[in-house]
Amino acid sequence: MGLKKLVTACYRNRQSEMFSRHDSERAIWLEYNGNRKGGRVPDVKDIGEHPLEGDGDFCKAETIELLKRADIVVTNPPFSLFREYVAQLVEHGKKFLIIGGQNAITYKEIFPLIKDNRMWLGYGFKNGNAYFKPSDHKPYASKSYFDKTTGLVKFRNVKWFTNLDHAKRHEKLRLYKRYSPEEYPAYDNYDAIEVGKIKDIPVDWDGAMGVPITFLDNHNQDEFEIIWTTDRGGDGMLEDMKLPHSRYDAPVVNGKGLYKRILIRNKAL
């Protein structure tokens, strides 16, 4: 891949293995500069092992020093600390490719980055499903998502988040439907219409429309403008679009609240 080197910081682990038991108060970091013997398969002897003073937490100063040296960060951060982790990457101006939960899209700390085209969704995880193999010493607890045949666990509703460009985000949606008030009802509480499926976005509607958050899998910044999300009442960003109503925490159609939506507008109209 033409990489200069690979560096990884372990968390609460003193062993150079992928699946840590997280049973150490101190950690190590690893560095790989290529196989000295040549070839594509790494030799474990070529991986440098270095001690950390602390446990490898990404907020610690010594771990941040490793981050500063990196050009691109690829990882699966703790979902509970996703906001803090993204903030750190943005603060240090890093390119990144990370895994997060689908609902992180509408976090008040995350959505502005997507709206301002500073972060977008990557390509992969069909239907939001990821698969992983649990380690031998830590079997997966939930049997409902474990496939005994493959030995893999399905991890649902996840996305790649990145600021690395890729071809899919420049593809245009193939739309064909035209607006009609019968098929596209207006919201009771927002000056916009409801579009329940991405493929049904009308080609001739020049106003605001609410679409599922999965729209971001196909968002082309040159094709559509992202106005804001209806989550949490718009965070004060949709005041000019609100209609007299008692509820703003979700879009409402004929008195029925719907799931969170992203409000968009067609740039070509």
pLDDT in tens, 152-171: 888 889 999 999 999 999 99
What are the structure tokens assigned to 95, written together? 């390119």
- Residue range 38-58, pLDDT digits in tens: 777 777 888 899 999 999 999
What is the per-residue pLDDT for 24? Answer: 87
What pLDDT, on a 0 to 100 scale, did the predictor assign at position 118? 97
Comparing 63-77, 83-97, 125-139, which segment has the lowest mean pLDDT? 125-139
For the stretch 101-118, pLDDT in tens is 998 998 999 999 999 999
Give dist(CA 130, CA 102) in Å, integer.
Answer: 12
Q: To the nearest whole number, what is the mean pLDDT of the chain?
A: 91
Give the phi and the psi of residue 128 in degrees, each rounded to 5: 75, 15
Which 3-state string (H, E, C) describes the chain? CCCCCEEEECCCCCCCCCCCCCCCCCCEEEEECCCCCCCCCCCHHHEEEEECCCCCCCCCHHHHHHHHHCCEEEECCCHHHHHHHHHHHHHCCCEEEEEEEHHHHHCCCCHHHHHCCCCEECCCCHHHCEEECCCCCCCCCCHHHEECCCCEEEECCEEEEECCCCHHHHCCCCCCCCCCCCCCCECCCECCEECCCHHHCCCCCCCCEEECHHHHHHCCCCCEEEEEECHHHHHHCCHHHECCCCCCCCCEECCEECCCCEEEEECCC
Strands 209-211 and 193-194: parallel
Across 198-212, average pLDDT:
97
* Region 197-224 average pLDDT: 96
125: nearest Cα among 83, 82, 158, 92: 158
Whose tokens are 């010493």? That residue is 137
pLDDT at 40: 74
% the chain with pLDDT above 90: 71
Decide: pTM greater than 0.85. Answer: yes
Q: Quick one: pLDDT band at residue 136, thresholds 50, 70, 90?
A: low
Q: What is the pLDDT of residue 41?
A: 77
